[in-house]
Structure formats: C-alpha cells, structure tokens
C-alpha cells in the first residue's frame, strides 16, 4: 500500500466503544475492591474546630474514616507547594476534601460521609478577584510566604493574594501612547467554564509490595505518578499508573484528582480502593477554566496603524495556585502578535480566592484573551471608521514577526494565506447581511505543547507492529489514528496491523500527556525516530534471509524485497520469525522533545512558561442572528481556516475543529460557571450548567491549510486544542455587529444581547 498518512483510515477503538465493550476508568474493577467517598467542605472559608468521625466509623460496612491526621503532613502542587491532601485547621473553598470514608460498597461509603461531623467556624470568603485585590483584603492564605515553588522552579513575584505576577514592559509604551491619534480602552470579563467531560473522575488503587498501582482514565499518567508521589512523600518509582479508556478530559485530567486519595486509602485499609465522584462532586471540585478580568488599551492612528498597547489581566486561580502561575505567561504571546503592535506592555496576575482551584481547559486562557484582543480590534477599527477586516489585514504580522518574549515567528506570514482562504469560502461582504444579523472574525496563533515522548516499536512474528508508548488516547484519535498511521507507514503496512499499548508507567518511557495537541507531533516524531532504527534491523534481517546485501533490499507492502526484483521477497512475518533466532527480537526505540525556541529572558519578569513552540495559525468567521425579542442567538454559519502543518488524518482534524468550535459556542453563549457573593458556585448540576446540545451547534465548515513543519512527523503540528480559542471572539464580534452595542462579557447571555440592542437604540 502507498501509505496511510494523509488519509482518513478506520478508527479501530470506535468498534469497542460503539459496542459498549470499552472499559473506561470508572468501569474498571479489581477483585475485593472497597469503595471510598470524600467528605468535602460545605463552606468556602473557615476554621475547623473539630471533626467527629465516630458515628461514621460505627456504620455497617464502614472500614475506615480518614482525615489529615492519617495523611503525610505535606503540601504539594503543580508549581507551588501550597495544597494539602486534606484540610486540617482551615478550609479554603467549598468542596475542599476534609476526610474520606472507605466502606464495603459505594452506597455505604456515601451514606457514612453524611455522618462525619465537621464543626467549622465560618469566616467571610474572599469570593471574587475584586475582593481579593482590594487594599487590606483578608488573605486567603495567611501563611502564603511559607509556600515554596516545586523543586526545579525558580521563585517568581508573588505577594499575599497575588500568587503570581508576570510583567513585560519594554519601555517607551507611554511615549507611544502620547503620539497616538486615538486611545481606545476596554474592559472584558469572563466567567469560569467547566470541562464537563462525560465520564466523571474516578481512581482505583492497590497497595502491594510497598508500591502503589493506580488505575485511571487520565490525560497524563506520568503526572499522576509524580504528583501522587509528592503528595504522599515517596519516590515516583513507587507509583505505577495504568491508563484505561477515557471519557473526555479537555484539560481537567492533567493534574491529579482522586488518585493520591485512592492510593493513600489503599495503603491504610490494605485493600483495593475505588473512589468515584458523582457529577455534582465532580463539578464542585473540578479545576475549571479560570474566570478573568482583562483591561486593554491601545493607541491607534487615523491611517489604521496600532502604535501602542497596554494589556492587564487578572486570572482567578481559586484557593490553590495549580497551573495558573504558568498561564499568566500566555498573554505575552498573544497581546502583541497576529497584529503588529510595536510597543506593548503586559501585566498578568494569578490571584487566590476562596473558591475551587481552577486549571487547564482546552485553549488555556487563550479563549478569553483572544475574546478581549479581537473584540478590542473591532472597537479600534470602528473608532477610526475603517472596515474591520481591512483593519486586520492592515496590521497583520508577517514572516519574521518578533513576539514580546523575543521569539521569532519565521512563518507568521501564513496568516495572510489563512485570511485569503476565509475570504474565498465566506466572502466578508456577503456575510451578516439582513436585519438582526451580524458577522465577526477572529484570528489567533496557538502552540503545540513541547513535552517529551517516547516510543518502542517491535515487529512481531506474525508481521504486526507493536507500538509501546505511554501516550494517552483522550478521544481525539491522536493515538488511535495518528500514531498508528505514522507507525504503519514506517513499514508500509496496514494501520489495522499496528497494535498500540495503553499507558503503563512501569512499562513505557515518560510521556508528556494528552495536552496541547502534542501527541501526533511529539509521539509521532518519536515513532519516526524508532522507525529509522527498526527499518535498519528489518533490512539487515531481510537481506540475510534473501541472501543479499542490505543495500540491495527494500521494505514495502509488508515485505522485504530485492530492489528491482519484486518477486524475490519475504514477508515481514518471515523476517521477524527468522530474526528471532538469528539476532533476537526486532525492537527499536525513539524519543523526542521539542527544543526550546530561542527567546530573550530579559523581556519579562515572572515568565514561567517562556516560549510558544511550534505555533499554528487560525482564522475563524461567524455569522449570527439575534432575536430582538428574546435575545437568543443563532449561529447561522461558522467557518474555520486552520494551519495544521500536515493533516495525518484529515477526518480526525476536522472532528477536532467541529468539537472545539462546539465547546467554544458553549463558552460564548451558555456555559457560565458563576460564583455568588457567598463564594459558592451558582450552577451545580448539568441541568443548571448548560453545555451545547445538538440543536445549538451548526455544521462547522473547516478548511485545513497544510504547511509542513520541518520537525513534525510528515510535517504535522498540533491541531486539536486551538479550534476553541477564537470562537467566543468571532461570535462576540458578530453579535456586536448585529446589535450595534457593546459585548464585553463571556458568556454572552440573552440579557446581554437585549442590553446591547437597547444601547444601540439609545445612541
């Protein structure tokens, strides 16, 4: 066969999934399993006076009730060691674990949870960014100075409730503002967004031979290993993590969740322990996308040039730092890119509040940063009465664009091609015409996560190819299709003859997880590295079998054949079988991690995530209609032009675009996870928290712009994460166009639409 890369091949894991046979983390059971449930803080802030576990412990079927006293006295985290397993003297958010119950059945464990009596002296919560940043605000953590960065990470600016501050100020910004014809200032606010994967979180652990084995459905088993090890105070090699099918994640399964608890409990009760969240527990404790406030000010000239910018962003990390201190680096990659802005100052802060810790969600922070930047871009164009598309083209970056971190984008000019492709499919002049209709555009760049990956390839005696990798299949098909196809092409075999392992940290080399669209790019590249070694071995073994020199044979169509004599050939099965006893099994390994792009570390302070590797380029256009009576928004048409390097599986990439846009539509229009003044979530179920249904999402049109990357396997870059990034901006711009009013909040509710219409009538 002529190779499977670039073709849409059958997705092999779809069969067990459509039959209901696939075993997800929550379906997995070990013999003799006990079940656990967590006691979660009912209040967002307060001092624990006492915990009475006696009534719970006396319940039928209860094996153990565990509190902070039974856990290692440690704090740990992704960036800052600030989070204990169980709260002991104070609680910092509603939902913070206080105790755990282990029982014979899940029902018994959940019943006993309500019998654990926790006496808390409540204190007023710091419930919002504004409250946390007010002069003299109460400290979420009075002992914040005692928290240390995780080993290997340098200190960064932090003070009180501000757990991280990133500043990039190149100088001369105020002078540039002074020379501007107009200065436009906007404030944007975004609510939280809950990942709402369909499979709630769970973990099953067993403790044997002084080691912990944890069964998960997780995006990043190696992070489960290291984070569980640090939470329990043991070496990482004492933790083994085994992955199962995963019911979505979208970022929420990147940090640890229930795994350290399951591991600790399994040791304490000396039996397998399964811990499962119900949906309301899952929503309450999930590291949702952070809420944020963005203040953006730009100087613009009458001829359309943007000459100065200030970009200030506050992100709510909740009660613990999690990964938000990394995310405050993201604005410097976006605020001065896509459009040339010669002079830009950026200050971004991560802020503690008495709310659930936030964290990674597909398009981390990019969704609201792009919303702010592209809504503001429309406002700049409108200020100087220039067409919004023309204004964008006027300011577009080109090859050699220098980002605010000093990193050079050698191929940024592809963005012009992307704008032209959009125009070809959805001409600007034809979109958004008619009463109550509007059109909006948004463009962004996004990264491909650089984290390392490793692959071992083995040619089996029946001619099938084993791919031993720790990569996790989150649902995108990056493993089920992409990695499998790339591996198949190494030997010219059918992808159906490629067998890929599930993650097991005892078996494979480190894998950086299903995050940031890295799997096809990084693991695919590791496959190619391993393939080079394996092909060499296969050629040598095949030549020996054919009685030829290695230089005179070649691999193709499942055979090794003599060059120029296609009928003198042996099957890969014959080669592998014979080699077994001649030279041993045919096995080769490959590793890859993206080299850090060159950048200038002096451009910013507090830059913990310093570069934006393997960037991709994106332009979206949306056409909407608003109902002037109800304020409801219908997305009539949505077009994505996405630069992908090379599409290994085109249908797979299109599926990521359609799904990412659907999540973006939810974010733009429905999905506000809001915090009341009492510090509690207002939406607490999937009924109250509304994700898009089939009636809400149009047929998304996707154009894949191929532009092969030198480092990627067959030129592939990341593709799955970024389609969500520009959606709220494109829709927000379209609604602003349709209504003639300001759209400055995410989600854009029917009330916001009616307000915007009323504002326009007043003008």
Partner 1 sequence: MSAEFSMTVNGRTVTVDVAADETLLHVLRDELLLTGAKEGCDEGECGACTVLVDGKPVDSCIYPAPAAAGRTVSTIEGLVGSDGSLTPIQRAFVDGFAVQCGFCTPGFVMTLTALIEENSKPTERDIREALSGNLCRCTGYSTIIDAVLTATEERS
Interacting residues with partner 1 (CB under 8 A): 8, 10-11, 13-15, 17-24, 26-27, 195-200, 245-248, 250, 278-279, 474-477, 651-652, 655, 658-663, 685-687, 691, 693-695, 697, 699-700
Output 687 or 710, the one with its CB closest to partner 1: 687
> At its nearest, how many Å lie between partner 1 and the CB of residue 699?
5
Rama region for 196: left / alpha / beta (φ>0; ψ in -120 to 50; rest): left
Burial 148-172 (b: 16+ CB within 10 A, else e): ebeeeeeebebebbbbbbbbbbbee
> At its nearest, how many Å lie between partner 1 and the CB of residue 604?
35
Distance of CA 546 to the CA centre of its chain: 50
Output 23 or 153, the one with its CB closest to partner 1: 23
User: Given 3-state DSSP classes, what are the helix, strand and coil percentages for the chain, each rounded to the nearest 5?
Assistant: 30, 25, 40
CA angle 46, 47, 50 (to 5 degrees): 130
> At its nearest, how many Å lie between partner 1 and the CB of residue 516?
17
Output 699 or 761, the one with its CB closest to partner 1: 699
- 97-103 and 553-556 as β-strands: parallel, antiparallel, unpaired? unpaired
Output 250 or 592, the one with its CB closest to partner 1: 250
Question: What is the rounded distance in angstroms from the CA atom of residue 665 to the CA atom of residue 647?
Answer: 24
Output 519 or 561, the one with its CB closest to partner 1: 519
Residues 6+ positions from 58 with CB-CB distance below 8 Å:
none
> At its nearest, how many Å lie between partner 1 and the CB of residue 634?
13
Question: What is the rounded distance in angstroms from the CA atom of residue 606 to the CA atom of residue 166?
Answer: 4
- 239-243 and 97-103 as β-strands: parallel, antiparallel, unpaired? unpaired
For 535, phi then psi, to 5°, come to -60, -40
- 148-149 and 211-216 as β-strands: parallel, antiparallel, unpaired? unpaired
> At its nearest, how many Å lie between partner 1 and the CB of residue 686?
4
Output 470 or 652, the one with its CB closest to partner 1: 652
Tokens of 41: 């803080």
In which order are the strands placed within the sheet that holds 211-216?
62-67, 97-103, 34-40, 273-276, 202-208, 211-216, 239-243
Tokens of 152: 């290997």
> At its nearest, how many Å lie between partner 1 and the CB of residue 197?
6
> At its nearest, how many Å lie between partner 1 and the CB of residue 14?
4
Exposed, middle or buried by CB within 10 Å (0-12, 13-18, 19+), for 410? exposed
- 182-190 and 745-746 as β-strands: parallel, antiparallel, unpaired? parallel
Question: What is the rounded distance in angstroms from the CA atom of residue 597 to the CA atom of residue 444?
Answer: 19
Torsion of CA 195, 198, 200, 203, to 10 degrees: -110
> At its nearest, how many Å lie between partner 1 and the CB of residue 105?
9
Question: What is the rounded distance in angstroms from the CA atom of residue 249 to the CA atom of residue 204?
Answer: 18
Output 439 or 662, the one with its CB closest to partner 1: 662
For 736, phi then psi, to 5°, come to -60, -40
> At its nearest, how many Å lie between partner 1 and the CB of residue 23?
7
Query: Which run of H or of E encompasses 687?
Result: none
Exposed, middle or buried by CB within 10 Å (0-12, 13-18, 19+), for 183? middle
CB contact at 8 A, 524 and 486: yes
Output 113 or 474, the one with its CB closest to partner 1: 474
Output 320 or 689, the one with its CB closest to partner 1: 689
Sequential DSSP letters for 428-484: GGGTT-STTEEEEEEEEEE------EEEEEEE-TTS-EEEEE-----SSSIIIIIIH
Question: What is the rounded distance in angstroms from the CA atom of residue 546 to the CA atom of residue 468?
Answer: 29
> At its nearest, how many Å lie between partner 1 and the CB of residue 649?
9
> At its nearest, how many Å lie between partner 1 and the CB of residue 690?
9
> At its nearest, how many Å lie between partner 1 and the CB of residue 280?
8
> At its nearest, how many Å lie between partner 1 and the CB of residue 479?
12
Output 27 or 104, the one with its CB closest to partner 1: 27
Output 567 or 685, the one with its CB closest to partner 1: 685
Output 279 or 416, the one with its CB closest to partner 1: 279
> At its nearest, how many Å lie between partner 1 and the CB of residue 18?
5
Question: What is the rounded distance in angstroms from the CA atom of residue 24 to the CA atom of residue 28?
Answer: 6
Output 554 or 721, the one with its CB closest to partner 1: 721
Output 242 or 545, the one with its CB closest to partner 1: 242
Q: 270 vs 63, 205, 211, 234, 568, CA distance in Å? A: 11, 10, 12, 17, 61
Output 211 or 279, the one with its CB closest to partner 1: 279
> At its nearest, how many Å lie between partner 1 and the CB of residue 92?
27
Q: In the block, which residue shows the tokens 């953006």? A: 296
Output 603 or 658, the one with its CB closest to partner 1: 658
Output 45 or 287, the one with its CB closest to partner 1: 287
Q: 610 vs 174, 326, 490, 592, 602, CA distance in Å? A: 25, 9, 34, 20, 11
Question: What is the rounded distance in angstroms from the CA atom of residue 715 to the CA atom of residue 649?
Answer: 13
Q: Pick from 418, 406, 420: which is nearest to 445 by CA? A: 418
| Greatest Cα-to-Cα distance within the chain, rounded to the nearest angstrom | 89
Tokens of 464: 């099938």
In which order are the strands placed within the sheet that holds 498-500?
498-500, 465-469, 453-459, 586-592
> At its nearest, how many Å lie between partner 1 and the CB of residue 721?
13
Question: What is the rounded distance in angstroms from the CA atom of residue 283 to the CA atom of residue 742?
Answer: 31
């Amino acid at each position: 066969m002529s190779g499977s890369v670039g073709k849409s091949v059958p997705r092999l894991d779809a069969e067990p999934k459509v039959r209901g046979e696939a075993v997800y983390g929550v379906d997995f059971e070990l013999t003799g399993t006990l079940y656990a449930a967590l006691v979660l803080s009912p209040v967002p802030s307060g001092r624990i006076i006492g915990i009475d576990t006696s009534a719970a412990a006396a319940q039928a079927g209860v094996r153990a009730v565990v509190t902070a006293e039974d856990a290692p006295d440690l704090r740990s985290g992704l960036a800052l060691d600030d989070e204990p397993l169980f709260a002991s003297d104070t609680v910092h958010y509603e939902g913070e674990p206080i105790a755990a119950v282990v029982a014979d059945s899940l029902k018994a464990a959940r019943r006993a949870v309500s019998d654990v009596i926790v006496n808390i002296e409540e204190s007023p919560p710091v419930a919002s960014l504004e409250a946390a940043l007010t002069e003299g605000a109460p400290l979420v953590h009075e002992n914040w100075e005692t928290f240390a960065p995780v080993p290997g990470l340098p200190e960064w600016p932090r003070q009180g409730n501000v757990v991280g501050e990133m500043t990039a100020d190149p100088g001369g910004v105020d002078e540039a503002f002074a020379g501007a014809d107009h200065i436009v200032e906007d404030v944007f606010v975004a609510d939280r967004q809950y990942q709402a994967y369909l499979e709630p979180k769970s973990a099953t652990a067993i403790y044997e031979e002084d080691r912990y084995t944890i069964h998960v459905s997780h995006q990043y088993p190696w992070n489960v290993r290291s984070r569980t090890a640090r939470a329990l105070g043991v070496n990482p090699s004492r933790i083994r993590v085994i992955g199962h099918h995963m019911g979505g994640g979208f970022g929420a399964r990147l940090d640890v969740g229930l795994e350290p608890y399951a591991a600790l409990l399994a040791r304490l009760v000396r039996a397998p322990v399964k811990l499962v969240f119900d949906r309301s527990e899952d929503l309450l404790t999930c590291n949702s996308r952070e809420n944020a406030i963005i203040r953006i000010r730009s100087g613009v000239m009458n001829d359309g040039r943007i000459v100065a910018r200030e970009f200030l962003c506050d992100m709510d990390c909740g009660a613990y730092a999690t990964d938000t201190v990394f995310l405050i680096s993201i604005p410097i990659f976006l605020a001065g890119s896509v459009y040339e802005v010669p002079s830009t100052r950026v200050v971004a802060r991560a802020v503690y509040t008495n709310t659930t810790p936030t964290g990674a969600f597909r398009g981390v922070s990019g969704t609201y940063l792009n919303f702010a930047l592209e809504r503001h871009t429309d406002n700049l164009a409108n200020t100087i009465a220039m067409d919004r598309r023309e204004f964008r083209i006027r300011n577009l970056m080109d090859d050699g664009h220098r980002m605010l971190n000093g990193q050079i984008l050698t191929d940024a000019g592809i963005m012009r091609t992307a704008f032209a492709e959009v125009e070809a499919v959805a001409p600007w002049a034809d979109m958004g015409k008619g009463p109550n209709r509007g059109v909006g555009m948004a463009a962004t760049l996004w990264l491909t996560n650089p984290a390392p990956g490793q692959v071992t390839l083995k040619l089996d005696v029946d001619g099938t190819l084993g791919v031993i990798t720790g990569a996790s299949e989150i649902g995108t098909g990056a493993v089920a299709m992409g990695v499998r196809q790339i591996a198949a092409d190494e030997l010219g075999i059918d992808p159906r003859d490629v067998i890929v392992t599930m993650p097991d940290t005892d078996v494979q080399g480190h894998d950086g997880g299903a995050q940031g669209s890295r799997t096809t790019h990084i693991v695919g590249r590791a496959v190619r590295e391993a393939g080079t070694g394996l092909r060499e071995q296969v050629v040598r073994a095949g030549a020996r079998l054919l009685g030829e020199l290695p230089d005179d044979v070649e691999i193709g169509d499942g055979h090794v054949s003599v060059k120029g004599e296609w009928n003198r050939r042996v099957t890969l099965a014959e080669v592998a079988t014979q080699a077994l006893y001649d030279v041993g099994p045919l096995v080769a390994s490959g590793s890859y991690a993206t080299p850090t792009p060159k950048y200038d570390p002096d451009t910013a302070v507090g830059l913990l995530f310093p570069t934006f590797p393997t960037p991709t380029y994106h332009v979206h256009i949306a056409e909407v209609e608003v109902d002037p009576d109800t304020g409801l928004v219908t997305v009539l048409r949505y077009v994505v032009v996405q630069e992908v390097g090379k599409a290994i599986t085109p249908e797979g990439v299109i599926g990521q675009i359609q799904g990412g846009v659907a999540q973006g539509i939810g974010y733009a229009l429905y999905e506000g996870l809001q915090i009341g003044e009492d510090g509690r979530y207002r939406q607490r179920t999937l009924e109250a928290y509304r994700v898009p249904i089939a009636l809400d999402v149009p047929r998304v049109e996707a154009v894949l712009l191929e532009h092969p990357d030198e480092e990627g396997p067959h030129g592939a870059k990341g593709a799955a994460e970024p389609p969500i990034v520009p959606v709220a901006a494109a829709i927000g711009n379209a609604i602003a166009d349709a209504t003639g009013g300001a759209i400055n909040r995410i989600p854009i509710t029917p009330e916001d639409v009616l307000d915007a219409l009323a504002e326009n009538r007043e003008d």
